[in-house]
């Protein structure tokens, strides 16, 4: 069964206070947990089971996905009492991912529609131990790759290559189980980057697959609100929401399940989480109203 490891254990400090209520991968985007977009994307590449590491508010995952399933696919949760970072987190779930074929590792706080199957084909054809999905340009371009061979030569210039061609890592990669020998001992707190570098030093081939399409890092509230403008959705108002007379909202706002928006309220670039309420005549601009909370008056850039 083709599996993926979705990183769900981060603290989401830059998104506080939103992440006081939910882990970052579970924050709603157009009335769906962000992680569901990752699951759907991975399913398009043939993934049928998902391994998720948890740390902050682990019970929220059980509430979001009762029965530990998503649209018929099994979810395997592995809790980290101490945050192990990406390399330590991967080592902690090795038993759930070992097998004959490669698996995806996918950051739980991003949105992308990058083509996964061509990257998987490149991974297999190139005999790569790991294939990083990269973008030609972005906010943090620190992956050195030879454009012709599609081989990654350095990460964060740790090997001192000073290579001129630098690319943005998308947070998605394809890993062969043979890579596990380069990971730290289970329980070690470590990023996955040193393990990639150890593999390079050992002569292993780390590949890079250039991808296009939409890519967003929802690490802060500005990018979270921006996501509601650019990510496609079926409807910006959940069918269970109750909307009063004279309510106006712009095309970048979103209203979640069982919300109540009273008469005359105005919503601009704002997001209402499930069971939120907006009082009559309220005016919201760039606001996020958390589940069970009430917004009144004129608010700008507020998290309620």
- Per-residue pLDDT at 100 exceeds 80: no
Maximum pairwise Cα distance, the chain: 67
Query: Phi/psi at 87 (nearest 5 deg)?
Result: -70, -45
What is the pLDDT confidence band of residue 170, given thresholds at 50, 70 and 90? very high
CATH of 3-217, one of 1.20.210.10, 3.40.190.10, 3.90.550.10, 3.40.50.300: 3.90.550.10
179 exposure class (CB count in 10 Å sphere: 0-12, 13-18, 19+): buried
Mean pLDDT in residue range 100-127:
93
User: Cα–chain-centroid distance for residue 264?
Assistant: 35
Domain-by-domain residue ranges, the chain? Answer: 3-217, 235-300
DSSP 215-262: EEE--SHHHHHHHHHHS--S-SB-TT-EE-TT-EE-TT-EE-TT-EE-
Q: How far is CA 140 from CA 25, 136, 168, 223, 265, in A?
A: 21, 11, 6, 15, 40
* Cβ neighbours around 15 below 10 Å, total: 23
Query: Phi/psi at 105 (nearest 5 deg)?
Result: -120, 130
Residue with tokens 């790759």: 145
CA distance 7 to 66: 19
Mean pLDDT in residue range 14-39:
90
Helix, strand or coil for residue 163? coil
**pTM attached to this predicted model:** 0.93
pLDDT at res. 232: 87
22 exposure class (CB count in 10 Å sphere: 0-12, 13-18, 19+): buried
Tell which residue, 290, 280, 278, 285, has the closest CA to residue 300.
285
Predicted confidence (pLDDT) per residue in 239-287, tens digit: 999 999 999 999 999 999 999 999 999 999 999 999 999 999 999 999 9
What is the pLDDT confidence band of residue 62, given thresholds at 50, 70 and 90? very high
pLDDT at res. 154: 95
Mean pLDDT in residue range 163-176:
96
| Pairing of the two strands 110-112 and 130-135 | unpaired
Mean pLDDT in residue range 181-205:
95
* Cβ neighbours around 174 below 10 Å, total: 25
User: Cα–chain-centroid distance for residue 243?
Assistant: 31
Residue 256 contacts residue 242 (beta carbons within 8 Å): no
At a CB cut-off of 8 Å and minimum separation 6, what does 36 contact?
70
* Cβ neighbours around 4 below 10 Å, total: 26
- Per-residue pLDDT at 1 exceeds 80: no
At a CB cut-off of 8 Å and minimum separation 6, what does 295 contact?
276, 277, 278, 279, 282, 284, 287, 289, 302, 304
pLDDT at res. 11: 79
pLDDT at res. 129: 97
């Amino acid at each position: 069964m083709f599996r993926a490891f979705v990183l769900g254990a981060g603290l989401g400090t830059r998104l506080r206070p939103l992440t006081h209520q939910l882990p970052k991968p579970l924050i709603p985007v157009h009335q769906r947990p962000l992680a569901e977009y990752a699951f759907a994307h991975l399913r398009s590449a043939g993934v049928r089971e998902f391994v998720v590491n948890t740390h902050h508010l682990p019970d929220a995952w059980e509430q979001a996905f009762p029965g530990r399933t998503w649209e018929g696919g099994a979810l395997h949760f592995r809790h980290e009492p101490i945050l192990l970072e990406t390399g330590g987190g991967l080592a902690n779930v090795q038993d759930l991912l070992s097998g004959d074929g490669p698996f995806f590792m996918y950051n739980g706080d991003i949105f992308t529609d990058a083509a996964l199957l061509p990257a998987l084909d490149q991974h297999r054809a190139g005999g790569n131990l790991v294939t990083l999905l990269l973008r030609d340009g972005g906010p943090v371009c620190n992956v050195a790759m030879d454009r012709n061979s599609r081989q990654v030569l350095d990460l964060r210039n740790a090997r001192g290559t000073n290579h001129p061609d630098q690319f943005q890592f998308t947070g998605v990669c394809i890993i062969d189980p043979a890579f596990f020998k380069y990971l730290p001992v289970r329980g070690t707190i470590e990023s996955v980057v040193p393990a990639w570098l150890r593999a390079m030093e050992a002569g292993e081939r780390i590949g890079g697959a250039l991808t296009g399409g939409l890519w967003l890092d929802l690490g802060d509230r500005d990018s979270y609100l921006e996501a509601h403008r650019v990510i496609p959705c079926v409807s910006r108002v959940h069918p269970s929401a109750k909307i009063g007379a004279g309510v106006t909202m712009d095309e970048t706002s979103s209203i979640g399940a069982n919300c109540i928006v009273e008469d005359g309220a105005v919503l601009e670039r704002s997001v209402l989480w499930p069971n939120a309420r907006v009082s009559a005549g309220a005016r919201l601009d760039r606001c996020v109203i958390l589940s069970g909370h009430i917004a009144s008056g004129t608010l700008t850039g507020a998290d309620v």
